[in-house]
Structure 1
């Protein structure tokens, strides 16, 4: 699902477009979701962490990303690595905050700007414009190559290449499934309400349900019962497909959270559900740990 079908946040007097719409990776919020719901905004400080923007070489292209990791020795093999794959809004403050939350659990967490060649996801003033002008032009093959480069950068900068996981939300949830089928080195993945089925196109030749036979790592799917764009029948189809897939697919699991909407982890939006978000976050950490990514 793309974010067109999610209700936009209600107004709040505490946060303005000027305050949040900034160019720097990891800061501000996309114009298309302004104004944010300040009463639910969670902020994880950077004290005790090395956190901030970095640049990742992908061939001759320099891709911006936001990285967070503990400010302490990494140990013999480095920190376990989690690739954080954003929603359609790019690497804004919420995504940066998630990397810091993971860093506080001992991870090197890194979120690359995967749309930057096509445009600035934070600049589009509304969701339809963002989807039309930026997101719809992003090839899956480009994203897979960018994530490979991100994993390689992390391994060369304090990360342990043998302990690699990925997690993503919405658009990034779909990509998380795809990456678990793309990279044979990945050990675990957690996909938050990512689209599972769809029609093939030149830029999106396959969808998660088409790749269950190719999964290299078990995926924890975290889905919402009342998701207007990801109906439960598609979740049921994916569950059935996983049972007939690769060994990793058969070890995958999908959890549907009752009463929740798409975006229940997004603490800056009305869809945020604190109880479900906290439960799902704990499940994700336990999923990674049980598969040696901790």
Structure 2
């Protein structure tokens, strides 16, 4: 995959709470891609989403649902979709906060988290993702090759969805929280559903992540072993949280590149591409 590294290009918009943007931000060319906005019918609403796919291929593409960071579907997540499309996937990123609010209205992470993110129920997200999968299958995707990856907030969702949808072939969770306080909106965490996983999950974590202690990662490993789950967790010793976020100071290039290749291999192993 060839990418350019540059700061914001015309039309790019990173979430205000993620500012300032670093010069390492990657912009993936879309010359060979179809990149567009759409809306997806779900639970009586129309959910905004963006998608990318190879321009010349319109049918039977493996599907990757891309689940947003805490910052929503901003430029980094859009670029993730473009990178996956270059690999031959139909990649789609739904705006999963859309009923509760707009992450672009918040300038700092604590306020964004407390006033918006905590109001989004897990059950609502699971149902919305089901509708995303159905939409993708009707718009050029192969329902038998359904995959999902998520980052930060979306990393936690990746674990949960792998226990929710038996049609999911594989998931990759990037630094998703594994445990925490239980609320009405978040009654279970990945540690609670390890025994329920129906799809193989690859977890990618940083040893220097102050928000996800290594003790919780080890607890998750033990839970996965006890459940005989098809899962693997990789911990990068020099990486912290959000090490794949190339637009932020947390970016750790070596770990991010290795994680990306592991994700592609995981998807290929469990049916992401045709033989």
The one of 64, 68, 74 aligned to 1:82: 64
- 1:155 corresponds to 2:134: no
Shift of the alpha carbon at 1:199?
Answer: 2.4
SS of the residue corresponding to residue 122 of structure 1 reads: helix
**Alignment of structure 1 residues 75-154 onto 2, 5 Å:** 75=59, 78-154=60-136
CA contact (8 A) 2:242 2:251 kept: yes
- 1:283 corresponds to 2:262: yes
The one of 182, 202, 218 aligned to 1:200: 182
- 1:72 corresponds to 2:51: no
- 1:233 corresponds to 2:233: no
The one of 53, 56, 63 aligned to 2:47: 63
Shift of the alpha carbon at 1:59?
Answer: 3.0
CA distance in structure 1 between the partners assigned to 2:163 and 2:254 by the alignment: 30
Cross-structure match for 1:253: 232
Cross-structure match for 1:6: none
- Could you say what the CA RMSD is over the residues aligned between the two structures, in angstroms? 1.4
Cross-structure match for 2:4: none
Aligned residues: 267
SS of the residue corresponding to residue 226 of structure 1 reads: coil
Shift of the alpha carbon at 1:48?
Answer: 0.9
Shift of the alpha carbon at 1:52?
Answer: 1.8
Shift of the alpha carbon at 1:74?
Answer: 3.9
CA distance in structure 2 between the partners assigned to 1:72 and 1:57 by the alignment: 26
CA distance in structure 2 between the partners assigned to 1:73 and 1:235 by the alignment: 39
**TM-score, L = length of structure 1:** 0.88
Cross-structure match for 1:269: 248
Shift of the alpha carbon at 1:60?
Answer: 2.2
The one of 259, 271, 274 aligned to 1:292: 271
Cross-structure match for 2:173: 191
Shift of the alpha carbon at 1:73?
Answer: 2.9
SS of the residue corresponding to residue 40 of structure 1 reads: coil
Moved more, 232-241 or 41-50: 41-50
5+ residue gaps, structure 1, are 1-13
Shift of the alpha carbon at 1:132?
Answer: 1.7
CA distance in structure 2 between the partners assigned to 1:35 and 1:130 by the alignment: 16
Cross-structure match for 1:3: none
Cross-structure match for 1:47: 31
**TM-score, L = length of structure 2:** 0.94
SS of the residue corresponding to residue 142 of structure 2 reads: strand
